[in-house]
């Protein structure tokens, strides 16, 4: 998975080739097993196994309670700009959903860090398939209070479904 980009300042073409820094061990072997929707509980535990050459990048990660995990939808094929998610019967723009079929098949998950054992991170909140390539990890930092968050079309879809 690589793309060429044209630098808007210099006009030069550059290439970005993401490389996995590790892989996830997850209880999910099929997409259908993963909970979906606004009320979905993501409580599954898993292990993020970082490749040995990146282990030193985990130094001091133990102090954080939650991590953002960037990963590749490695089984996604193609994309659609309008999708009908499983939680609604109406189409929405792909960028307003968490659909795996995206122009750049990149996923983002917030997990709770339970513990670290060397190059292995034991986490809760996994919503990835077993074997998913991990592209990056960042500590979760947010100043947005939960009462200020909005759920967009999901709020209306949940009301229509009687939840």
Q: Where are the domains of the chain?
A: 19-141+152-160
Q: What is the rounded CA–CA span in Å between residue 25 and residue 162?
A: 35
Query: Is 35's pLDDT higher than 60?
Result: yes
> What fold, for 19-141+152-160?
Elongation Factor Tu (Ef-tu); domain 3 (2.40.30)
Model pLDDT, residue 38:
66
User: What mean pLDDT comes out for the span 92-121?
Assistant: 93
Instruction: Give the pLDDT band (50/70/90) at residue 52.
Output: very high
Q: Are 81 and 89 in contact (CB under 8 A)?
A: no
| CB hemisphere CA count around 45 (13 angstroms) | 6
Instruction: Give the pLDDT band (50/70/90) at residue 138.
Output: very high
For 125, other C-beta atoms within 10 Å of its C-beta total 20
Q: What is the rounded CA–CA span in Å between residue 60 and residue 66?
A: 13
Q: Which of residues 42 and 1 earns the better pLDDT score?
A: 42
User: What mean pLDDT comes out for the span 59-66?
Assistant: 94
Query: Is 2's pLDDT higher than 60?
Result: no
Q: What is the Cα Rg of the chain in Å? A: 17
User: What are the φ and ψ backbone dihedral angles of 146, each rounded to 5 degrees?
Assistant: -60, -35
Share of the chain above pLDDT 70, in %: 92
Global confidence as pTM: 0.81
Model pLDDT, residue 4:
63
Give the angle subtended at the CA of 117 by the CAs of 111 and 119, to the nearest 5°: 80
| CB hemisphere CA count around 149 (13 angstroms) | 9
Q: Are 4 and 15 in contact (CB under 8 A)?
A: yes
Q: What is the rounded CA–CA span in Å between residue 42 and residue 127?
A: 7
For residue 47, count CB atoms less than 10 angstroms from its CB and return exposed for 0-12, middle for 13-18, buried for 19 or more.
middle
Instruction: Give the pLDDT band (50/70/90) at residue 3.
Output: low
User: What mean pLDDT comes out for the span 88-112?
Assistant: 91
For 102, other C-beta atoms within 10 Å of its C-beta total 19
């Amino acid at each position: 998975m690589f793309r060429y980009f044209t630098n808007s300042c210099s006009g030069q073409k550059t290439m970005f080739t993401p490389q996995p820094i590790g892989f996830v061990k997850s209880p999910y072997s099929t997409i259908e097993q993963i909970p979906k929707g606004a009320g979905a509980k993501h409580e599954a535990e898993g292990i993020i196994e970082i490749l040995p050459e990146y282990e030193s990048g985990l130094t001091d990660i133990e102090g954080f309670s939650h991590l953002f995990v960037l990963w590749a939808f490695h089984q996604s094929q193609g994309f659609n700009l309008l999708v009908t998610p499983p939680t609604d019967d109406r189409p929405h723009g792909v960028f307003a959903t968490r659909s795996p079929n995206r122009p750049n098949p990149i996923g983002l998950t917030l997990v709770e860090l339970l513990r670290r054992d060397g190059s292995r991170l034991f986490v809760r909140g996994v919503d990835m398939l077993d074997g998913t390539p991990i592209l990056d990890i960042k500590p979760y930092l947010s100043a947005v209070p939960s009462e200020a968050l909005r759920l967009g079309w999901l709020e209306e879809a949940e009301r229509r479904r009687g939840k």
